[in-house]
Chains A and B, each alone.
Chain A
Amino acid sequence: MLYRTAGQFKTSYKKDQALFPVRQDATLLALILGLAWIVFPFMASEFAFQTLLIPVLVYSLAALGLNILTGFAGQLSLGTGAFMGVGAYACYKMITIFPEMNLIVAVLLSGFFSSIVGVAFGLPSLRIKGFYLAIATLAAQFFLVWMFEKVGWLYNYSNTGAIQVPNIDMFGVAVAGPLASSVTKYYFVLFIVTVVTVVMINLTRGTQGRIWKATRDMDIAAELIGINLLKSKLTAFAVSSYVVGVSGALFVFLWRGAAEPNLFDISLSFRVLFIAIIGGLGSIMGNFLGAILIVALPVVLNILPELFGIEIASATVEHLNIMIIGSLIIFFLIIEPHGLARLWALIREKLIIWPFPH
């Protein structure tokens, strides 16, 4: 009923290839965007901004970047955390060297630095595949984090070896640093995430996306139909690392406010990889669903006992939390190995033919 497509006729190729061939999809997206842009900012408390909204967006963006590489182009990477770090440190250096720089420009530029690093570490992908490539990107992970620790220039030789976000103004409004309000930070992140997501949706639907998918599905066949694998794989690394780098800059500048090198440790890479896998490889929406499950759900579970007035020690809640999230991950992967995005796609299909299943 809700998803009845009867009466929605496509009378031209253009209409058939539209971003939303089914009208309800567009309505749903408009609703979500409305929530994100208008409703949440008015409803949310400081706590919700800092622990739910902003982190979900930042992690979604990081997973989106990884998904371009792993889900669309089929190249497994374990270096996401370090590439995020490159973005964050690049942004930090630019902001400290040119304090007048517009933060949006700095964030978008910092992606290019991680893009360059990503391409450099992507070079072996031409010769090695699968798990072997994962090991090569793992090298990037360790090397880059080691560099964040050792190269004093990167953290301006501060005593602690950590980077600290200064107060940054944009048009007279504090957008980053301790003085910035959470709403401003949220809108900043939301703006960047929306723009990048729209670009990525269109990129993956177009020629470039098809080239990546062909490379992913069978690289020899792709080569035979005239795809330049070198270009295909390296563009995937470049675009993916760019998005990951931007998310890294947002991660530190608009959310954490400070970062020590081990923040970009392998556990961060795994976290982003889990989001991408559980959300659904090869999908855009999956990243957001995955981030909600991995990032937001534990926070919600943590506050539930207090909400219902149940007295449990905080450490016990944490243990329970780990168990619940773990079993949920297994549960979702059993009922739909292709991730939450695929689960939603199935539900949607069922809704379209409901109440007359085949």
Chain B
Amino acid sequence: MNKFVKIAAATAIAMSGATAVMAQDEGLYIPNLSYRTGPFASTGIPLMNGQRDYVAMLNARDGGLNGVHLEFDECETGYSTEKGVECYEATKDQAIVTQPWSTGITLQVLPRTNVDEIPILAPGYGFSAMGDGSVFQWGFNMPSSYWDGASMILNEISGGDLSSLAGQKIAFLHLDHPYGKEPLPFLEAMAEANGFELLPIPVGLSEMQNQASQWLQIRRERPDYVVMWGWGAMNAGAISEAVKTGYPMDQFVGVWWSGHDADLAAVGADGTGYRSISWSAPQPDAPVMAAVREHVFEAGNSLASEEELNSVFYQRGLVISMILTEGIAAAQDHFGSATIDAAQLRWGLENVNITDERLAELGMSGMVAPFATSCSDHTGHSGGWMLRWDGDSFEVDSDHLSPDSETIRALEVSAAAEYAAANAPWPTASCE
């Protein structure tokens, strides 16, 4: 009976444990499905550190948010969708928000959030169509979606006039994964409307580190620009391959997840001129950084290293947590209660209003562009800046860029309607 007893015991423990797990006494429980292990850990760690440190700073400096302690917790997924769903199930009973941190996990969790009624916060990732808040009532991807990113890149490289791209060739180097395919519908629509040639070059998950064949194709086709949607090991692979093949760095532009300091530090000065669109910008001298240093880093409560603090990803992590806490604050304010539940946070996230004044109050001026969400707009379309690698660090290299909101809105609405139809019955809200 040995084995059987063991199995039964293990199952019994697991089941009784599952309900008892995450028993939070008080405070607002905001879990993060982190990935500090696995193939994407190098890019995950600075982001997770930033998120963690911002909340730790609020807890240390202000005792939480409007007097209520913020219970920040991480559940490790290793970027695996299977673990992600496990984490979602483990945290959803207590959590007021879920932060899936992977397009794959978002894909699996999104349909369930409608039933479980828990908001899903995917800042700058997830589905672009999540911007249509009337369909994706529980999904939020502010401040910018991938279609925004693609649009801003095109605006910047065309100098604001898309018709100037006519006749040019743009290679779209992307991870062959839901994430990498996300901007394709937008880019295809733009290519057709403006007469430039789009050359999609997929990079399979297994060939991320060896992109010789993709870059051979790029060398042969001589595109005017290479736009990259890469993540994890793919970024470093592409950048070192671009250096090796001598592709002009100033014609090579990446999305915000392809602007990781460590990837470019590996090639150093050879990477000078590489640009990455970003909805966040590092501001080493921002007051919020001083606060984080004082209350978290110097108190020894941070997992980050000194050089990481000024990196793009760490500071983006701060912004992500700020968006969440602003959503919480909006809900607290509206419902007149310091403790809020998931449904109230949904309202809060729908009514985030980040203005220049508010950013100044938070000490985050210039770290993100002002934006506001609404019932029908869950993205906010903040726009962003182009960051340029100067051989040593990323610097802001452009004025504030805005996406073509009208074109994107039409795409969002049709894609969201398509999604809802494929998943019928899908509840939609009427805004106004």
Residues of chain A having any CB pair with chain B under 8 Å: 2, 28, 32, 35, 40, 43-48, 50-52, 55, 149, 156, 158-162, 164, 166-167, 177-179, 256-258, 260, 262-263, 265, 289, 292, 296-297, 299-300, 302-304, 306-307, 313-315, 317-319, 322, 340, 343-344, 347, 351
Contact = CB atoms under 8 A, between A and B. Distances in A.
A104 B1 CA distance: 35
A183 to B, nearest CB: 14
A304 B386 CA distance: 45
B108 A256 contact: yes
B76 A315 contact: yes
Contacts of B178: 160-162, 260
Given A160-B178, A307-B21, A318 B422 contact: no
B74 to A, nearest CB: 4
A319 B37 contact: yes
B75 interface: yes
A48 B15 contact: yes
Contacts of A32: 4
25 contacts: A28-B4, A43-B12, A46-B89, A47-B89, A48-B11, A55-B82, A158-B422, A159-B181, A160-B181, A160-B182, A161-B176, A162-B107, A256-B85, A292-B10, A299-B86, A302-B86, A303-B18, A304-B17, A306-B22, A314-B74, A315-B76, A318-B76, A318-B78, A322-B37, A351-B1
A292 B7 contact: yes
Contacts of A313: 74
Among A166, A265, A340, chain B packs the most CB atoms within 10 A around the CB of: A166
Contacts of B17: 300, 303-304, 306-307
A45 B86 contact: no
A332 B349 CA distance: 50
A260 B107 contact: yes
A276 B74 CA distance: 33
Given A164-B423, A314-B74, A45 B18 contact: yes
* Most chain B CB within a 10 A radius of its CB, from A40, A260, A351: A260
B90 A47 contact: yes
B76 A306 contact: no
Contacts of A304: 13, 17
Contact of A260 (B7, B11, B104, B424): B104
Interface string B418-432: 000011110000000
A256 B80 CA distance: 12
B89 A44 contact: no
A31 B80 CA distance: 35
A149 B180 CA distance: 12
Contacts of B424: 166-167
Contacts of B76: 314-315, 317-318
Nearest to B175: A262
Contacts of A158: 422
Contact of A48 (B18, B78, B107): B18
